[in-house]
Structure 1
Amino acid sequence: MNVETKQVWWAFTLPLIAVLIWSLNIAITRYVADYISPVSISFYRWFLAFVILTPLMLPKVWKQRALIKAHWHQLAVLSACGMVLYQGLAYTAAHYTSATNMGIINAFIPVFTIFISMLILHEIPNRFAVIGSILSFIGLLYLISQGSWASLMNLAGHWGDVLMVIAVFCYAFYGVFFKKWQLKIPLLLSLYVQIAFAIMFHLPFVIALGLDPIDADNFSSVLYAGIFPSLIAPLVWMMAVQYLGPNRTSIFMNIMPITTAMIAFVWLNEAWTVYHSIGGVIILLGIALAQKKLLPKAKANQAERVID
């Protein structure tokens, strides 16, 4: 019994590690914005991850080539949504907004996922999901407006936040498509093939815009991005899902705004303001409410109303 308890508590550290890695990556994304272009760091990041994984995964790709060929188009879509659009837009957003804002907006993924699931998977959200989503959206608008609703009319002044919202929206599509298709491909193999597609998707932008050189100012950031958030965090997160289950693991994503803000405050000297507190609390309350499940009886009544 003691061994099982230790195993459970050890498993709880896994999603914490992943969240800390991703939170630090958001801060690094903001820091490195002054030293390297979005296209360059995004390409270098996935190319480095590809090089690291190739010796291990290339024989498996050849062995499973028939399976990959059958699902290549789905893997390409997942790569485009989760690796190219999400991360590319986030790197661009970092030029115009703070790491703190990026971390808070990133917590909005579950809310977008609810409504995309409704459109693609035809999953009808319960009343908690609807109310929580509306509440989170109000908090998001308050955050973007910096507490001044009138300033929302000036979208140019909030361009970075808008880009981050679009990035998060793309990542929500990634999660929904991943759930919809449920590909019977080993996760590490799936990750490797998606990274390969990400590199190919970057090539037109690399040809058109060129690549910034890796130098002393950006080397450590590129190295971190290519190893920790690209490889270690996903693997640790998948281990957490195996030990704790997807629902218990996903709850840890809600602390990302807090950990990102703490890192940004200490490292980037970003201020935590009143509108961060109010907007962040409203968003997190809405997300918590949106994830609340109906009791079996209430769920049955809702199903009857849908049928009627």
Structure 2
Amino acid sequence: MPTEALRAQSRSKFALVLIWFTPVLWTVNLISARLAPGVVSPHVLALGRWFLAGLILTWLARAELWRMRDEVRATWRQSVVLGACGMWICGAWVYMAGESTGAMNISLIYASSPVLIAVGSVLWLGEHFSKRQMVGVVVAMSGVVHVVVRGDWTHLSQVNLVPGDLWIVAASMAWAAYALLQKKWHSPLGSTARLATICMGGVAVLLPFALFELASPDTPVLGWHALGLIVVTALVPGLAAYWIYGWTQKLLGASRVAVTLYLGPLYSGIAAWWVLGEPLGLHHVAGGALILSGVALVMARKRSA
């Protein structure tokens, strides 16, 4: 086998490992969304997060960004649109949701994103999505619901939406758009440089909203706790999660990578048990088994033509 083919195969295998850890990184953002109210306002947190992440990314990719400056200028509108979807709506709006809904609700509603991405990948990007993979989506989604209703599906009739849930509905749609547009708008930039340009677009969109919040007398004064949240969200669910998502999507396709978002509720439940001391029930185990089985069905390569 040629050396380049071996390298490509190795990168694909590494990507398959990495995507299982991406939802762990995003779980940090859900916890931060619940800790932020009264500490830092949503747009200020999102702006601080992506400004810091953007600075780091720009420094790391400075040589490539300068060399490709004509490409960066030519695609600035794409960067603004992607920044609005990924950093503004999927950033500040998630923190706004955290003011009135729980982290588990956020995870559940976000779990609709892979369905939107899968449909969009087939209809818009021309990606192949087999019957086996569709079964995997259904199985994984069943596991998500099983975790949220705590094993009692009759609770579905008692679901009440609050304003925060609606913010997350919008964020899940924006995430689908972010994933699909990244794949649609192919860029010659590397993963780090492209994420840096998207951060620039996101900061540009977030800035006026953050300034408006800072001018409000009800906005919390920035303290060490707020700065800590900004740094953590910039490094973990910001730099690490978004970079891994963008890089793995290039190698594996939008629909295959998106399905790992189903792991969010499972990981959130484990985090609540480990970090907050909340009980881990049988519904978590059963739901987790369904989620992992569904993700495995979607991620597995087809062995026969």
- TM-score, length-scaled by structure 2: 0.74
Change (3 A) 1:122 1:286: same
Query: Residue 35 of structure 1 aligns to a residue in which SS?
Result: coil
CA offset digits 1:5-62 (Å, max 9, x no partner) = xx99x95875565443322232222222342221111111112223334444455434
Match of 2:225 among 193, 205, 217: 217
Change (3 A) 1:134 1:54: closer
The alpha carbon displacement at 1:198 in A equals: 0.6
CA–CA distance in structure 2, aligned partners of residues 118 and 241 of structure 1:
15
Match of 2:157 among 129, 134, 150: 150
Q: Could you tell which deviates more after superposition, 98-107 or 275-284?
A: 275-284
Q: Could you tell which deviates more after superposition, 231-240 or 48-57?
A: 231-240
Opposite residue 99 of structure 1, the aligned amino acid is: A
Matching of residues 57-136 of structure 1 within 5 Å: 57-58=61-62, 60-123=64-127, 125-133=129-137
Q: Name the structure 2 match of 1:195.
A: 199
CA–CA distance in structure 2, aligned partners of residues 40 and 269 of structure 1:
30
Indicate yes or no: 2:267 matched with 1:259. yes
CA offset digits 1:265-300 (Å, max 9, x no partner) = 233344556766666665655555555666655xxx
Change (3 A) 1:191 1:207: same
Q: Name the structure 2 match of 1:246.
A: 252
Opposite residue 117 of structure 1, the aligned amino acid is: S
Runs of at least 5 residues in structure 1 that lack an aligned partner in the other structure: 298-308
Q: Name the structure 2 match of 1:175.
A: 179
CA–CA distance in structure 2, aligned partners of residues 265 and 86 of structure 1:
25
Aligned identity (percent) is 25
- TM-score, length-scaled by structure 1: 0.73
CA offset digits 1:168-203 (Å, max 9, x no partner) = 222122111111222111221111111111111012
Change (3 A) 1:14 1:136: closer
Indicate yes or no: 2:240 matched with 1:232. yes
CA–CA distance in structure 1, aligned partners of residues 87 and 246 of structure 2:
17
CA offset digits 1:232-265 (Å, max 9, x no partner) = 34445667789xx537x94765544333222222
Change (3 A) 1:164 1:141: farther
Q: How many residues align?
A: 285
Q: Name the structure 1 match of 2:36.
A: 32
